[in-house]
Structure 1
């Protein structure tokens, strides 16, 4: 009954002339992320097995610490850039958007890099962690090159980004295997992770030029930059809090329980977050269509959001059940017996995906409705809740407590926050209807 209702909705969706366009784009995005999935599950597990829980924990900790500074570099522009490109009227306007966004992201990336560098050199952490953090800090500058990805997103031409990912993932996977075979230190693997992102952006830029897109990329407009910053500050603050609430548990685990525990926890996170490509792809691919429907047909707009919520909810439920029952077997045969302490954590942490999948779509909904400030409110409350629960539960229940803290904070952000504000309750209703396969 449930399946037949969903199939009926898909058939009706095909009546829309844009369906095939967005569907093909989604398939390309899935191919790209499947490559990342393969790399994480097999090559990533091989790296973790080679490094061992303690060293792998240091690698994950360093990456998470740098991630806390990424929102400063991104300054909340990502979704706004895509939205602006979708509604831009000509190449001159697109040139202004891309050029201004690129320079803003580069400037703030450099600022965040300087802040992180000062933090690293003033800290008393030992040299290996310091080296890893400095390597990963390259992300702060490289993220400015994402503007070319955003252009292809807005044009629903993600196949070019997929080509870039095929090249970068292939090269990085080969390098990781080589470094394992020659017994390389952990810093080599950090360099490969950064190199993968660099190659992705460079190849995307090559395709941008190869297609002879008549858009000068360095067309910076000061007034437009100020306008972007005015629009983006709530999303910037939201991004800061978002990163805190999704990364702080990894940092707190390392600081409170040690690097080895951080390694066990990192494996659980890796096997949970590897599925994030599903909502991220669907949200990125269908966000332009959602924006177009908002102005044309409010009923269709809400129905499409409900359909996305429903699809993602049931995918997350199926995945969570599968990982709960087979997680121990997966960890044992992919990561080895040294990581079996990750099993119990994974069986709890994986259920946070249900709410993360909701959060991905609801974040797009907040942007579409112009409720930017609620992205900030939601994430700051989620961060406070996660930190508070971690302090209490990690002390009392160790790694299990950290996983429970994440599950509870994700549930609040992904579902229950909408109940706090009258104008957001429609979004809560859409989620409940999606779970029950009710029409909007």
Structure 2
């Protein structure tokens, strides 16, 4: 069965275009900001972003993929779920963000608090942006691409103006908010022109949101934890300067991941509709091959260009990041393959296994990150991310349904066994 229809291919291209402009636009402006404020103050922005990543995860409460699957399978059912849980997400956001802001006010300096407030505001609009999920699920990602480009352009222009005028570092909080505010407003306006929100017995949906998401929130929180724990450990065990350098390495090492995510998201909207398991496994095996091919191409380009890119964009103060970029790029490939496996489990509604698996990954991440960073500093941080992603992709997945993920990873050797079932 062909993995790409014309509509899926077109949707993937729109998603990629959006991410190309967003990521590379942000790389150029972030590098401009990083040069302007230096590694230590840049580390303060990274710290705020790391903390509110957890708030975003907790607010969605494991429901992002459930929402995507519902809209993919049944548009009306998905819309009901999206809109009837909106107020619940607002309550969850304020519940989880308030303690962090209080902590920043009590234990950090003025600049970190300002960046924290701006990041909290930006995160609020991300958690309310149900329109991105809807547009991706119905293969209308061009709306996300266009609106995000507009929002990014406004934010970039404001950042350049602040730096050009040499204003106080605190003013850089403004574009942090604008980059999510404008796309949210535009997507909401476009949606309301074409569709009508459906509100019907929200308490019933709230209950499902908590109970269905409850089995996935552990896994999504664990993902946030093990992907962000390295940044938190660096801030604790080293300095904000090293955190700033590490953030540059992460940006460059993962910048190309949008290609993987765009392809995975578009193809999975088709796989979710397939009822035949053998056909699903064959498509997922093909998807794994595509992810590996994309990743190897990106790593080859980075191998030859990373030194020049860092010198050009960030300057000599960030040169230490070059030793981390390829390690983090390899971990990004593992992450992409892990995403494919996780989506298969979600398709089969194996939420309990996902929760247990990700809890174990998170528990293993803490000692791995601590020991690696304590012993090897920045390079230890990068290797700890790679090790955690590799274990998540392989060891922790291979116990699922008598080695199903292992068999899909080595599909040519197990193809006949799938057909005989």
TM-score range, shorter chain: over 0.9
Q: Measured at CA, do residues 375 and 125 of structure 1 come closer, stay the same or move farther in structure 2, by a change above 3 Å?
A: same
Tell me what 2:104 maps to.
120
CA contact (8 A) 2:246 2:321 kept: yes
Matches within 5 A, 1:13-412: 13=3, 19-88=5-74, 90=76, 93-121=77-105, 123-210=106-193, 212-213=194-195, 215-293=196-274, 295=275, 297-412=276-391
CA contact (8 A) 1:358 1:415 kept: no
CA contact (8 A) 1:261 1:399 kept: yes
CA contact (8 A) 2:122 2:179 kept: no
Mapped partners of 1:172, 1:217: distance in 2: 32
Aligned length: 417
Deviation at 1:199, TM superposition (A): 0.9
Q: Measured at CA, do residues 78 and 386 of structure 1 come closer, stay the same or move farther in structure 2, by a change above 3 Å?
A: same
Deviation at 1:220, TM superposition (A): 4.8
CA contact (8 A) 2:15 2:142 kept: yes
Mapped partners of 2:38, 2:312: distance in 1: 15
Runs of 5+ consecutive residues of structure 2 not aligned to the other structure = none
Mapped partners of 1:299, 1:411: distance in 2: 26
| TM-score, L = length of structure 2 | 0.93
1:427 correspondence with 2:405? yes
Mapped partners of 1:237, 1:186: distance in 2: 37
Mapped partners of 1:272, 1:133: distance in 2: 25
CA contact (8 A) 2:34 2:314 kept: yes
1:213-260 CA distances to partner (integer Å, 9 max, x unpaired)? 1x3254452123212321110211111111110011111112211111
CA contact (8 A) 2:331 2:389 kept: yes
Q: Measured at CA, do residues 86 and 424 of structure 1 come closer, stay the same or move farther in structure 2, by a change above 3 Å?
A: farther
Mapped partners of 1:437, 1:35: distance in 2: 40
Q: Measured at CA, do residues 204 and 107 of structure 1 come closer, stay the same or move farther in structure 2, by a change above 3 Å?
A: same
Runs of 5+ consecutive residues of structure 1 not aligned to the other structure = 1-8
CA contact (8 A) 1:98 1:219 kept: no
Mapped partners of 1:179, 1:61: distance in 2: 21
CA contact (8 A) 1:105 1:143 kept: no
Q: Measured at CA, do residues 137 and 89 of structure 1 come closer, stay the same or move farther in structure 2, by a change above 3 Å?
A: closer
Mapped partners of 1:227, 1:62: distance in 2: 31
| TM-score, L = length of structure 1 | 0.89
**Higher mean displacement: 173-182 or 277-286:** 277-286
Deviation at 1:356, TM superposition (A): 1.0
Classify the secondary structure of the residue corresponding to 1:76.
coil
Deviation at 1:307, TM superposition (A): 1.0
Mapped partners of 2:10, 2:87: distance in 1: 32
Moved over 6 A (4+): 436-440
CA contact (8 A) 2:122 2:178 kept: no
Classify the secondary structure of the residue corresponding to 2:38.
helix
Q: Measured at CA, do residues 425 and 433 of structure 1 come closer, stay the same or move farther in structure 2, by a change above 3 Å?
A: same
